[in-house]
Amino acid sequence: MAVRLAEYLESGVYVRNTSAYDRAAFAQTLASTAAALPADDLDLLDRYLVQGVPTRVLAAERSVSARTVSRRIRALLHRISSPTYLFFLQSSETLPRRDRNIGYELFCRGASLRECAAKLDITVHRVRTARQRILTMARVARNKGVAA
């Protein structure tokens, strides 16, 4: 599943009105980062982008509206192309274990602060401070030219 998605993203056919270089760079970024998504999100992108399943069919399978599925797909593509997500993937090994777990929940899964705190059994304050620490590191790295 992830291999088919990576091949499709590398083809660049889903990106319109951009230069070939931009398409290739965007596709390479998406292909390398999409694998960090949870399995259900990866499956949704695979079925929509690679297999060409219409949103209304995906919506019927999930018992939600087609608009909800469209928004979910758009949010996933926006998330995996964000500089903060990319920074987290590049530098997650250097983070302390707790910050890495918090970052995964927030940036990869897209969980809210409260959901993350409940899942990891920590306070919302600790989640918020860890998120702020990661965002600050991402901003500093971006200003130094380390992250895209």
- What is the CB neighbour count within 10 angstroms for residue 56? 13
Question: What confidence score (pLDDT) does residue 16 get?
Answer: 47
The answer on pLDDT for 131 being more than 90 is yes
In order of their start, the domains of the chain are 2-80 (no CATH), 83-144 (1.10.10)
Q: What is the pLDDT of residue 52?
A: 80
5-25 pLDDT tens trace: 555 555 555 544 455 555 556
Q: What is the pLDDT of residues 22-73, one digit of tens each?
A: 555 655 666 667 778 888 888 888 788 777 889 999 999 999 999 999 999 9
Predicted local confidence at residue 141, as pLDDT: 87
For residue 72, the number of C-alpha atoms closer than 13 Å in the C-beta half-sphere is 21
Q: What is the pLDDT of residue 45?
A: 82
Across the range 138-143, mean pLDDT stands at: 88
